[in-house]
């Protein structure tokens, strides 16, 4: 639990440093308000993510484990289809 809180705070700190540097580099002041708007929305997402995860509202996207399970299911289906074709060939007598 402490590690996840530490990671969350560290990510927020890195984000704030990155945004501060990016705003300082932008040459035209007219774009700064749009960048601050966008980065503010992303910052709110950073802050609310742990709370949303706690209540189960925010779920992780597709992970590598989900992809691996999906691949295994596809292989099972393909194997079953090939077995059905072999059984049909035996029954027909080919």
pLDDT tens, N- to C-terminus, the chain (94 residues): 788 788 888 989 999 999 988 888 887 788 888 888 999 999 998 888 888 777 776 665 556 677 788 888 988 888 888 877 777 777 776 5
Query: For the purposes of burial, counting CB atoms within 10 Å of the CB of 43, is it exposed (0-12), middle (13-18) or buried (19 or more)?
Result: middle
Please report the pLDDT score of residue 59 as a whole number.
61
Please report the pLDDT score of residue 41 as a whole number.
92
Q: What residues have CB less than 8 Å from 81, skipping those under 6 apart?
A: none
Please report the pLDDT score of residue 60 as a whole number.
59
């Amino acid at each position: 639990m402490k590690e996840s809180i530490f990671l969350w705070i560290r990510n927020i700190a890195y984000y704030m440093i990155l945004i501060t540097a990016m705003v300082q580099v932008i040459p035209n002041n007219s774009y700064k308000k749009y960048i601050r708007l966008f980065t503010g929305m992303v910052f709110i997402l950073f802050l609310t993510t742990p709370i949303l995860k706690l209540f189960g509202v925010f779920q992780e996207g597709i992970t590598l484990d989900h992809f691996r399970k999906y691949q295994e299911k596809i292989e099972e289906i393909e194997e079953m289809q090939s077995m059905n074709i072999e059984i049909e060939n035996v029954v027909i007598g080919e």
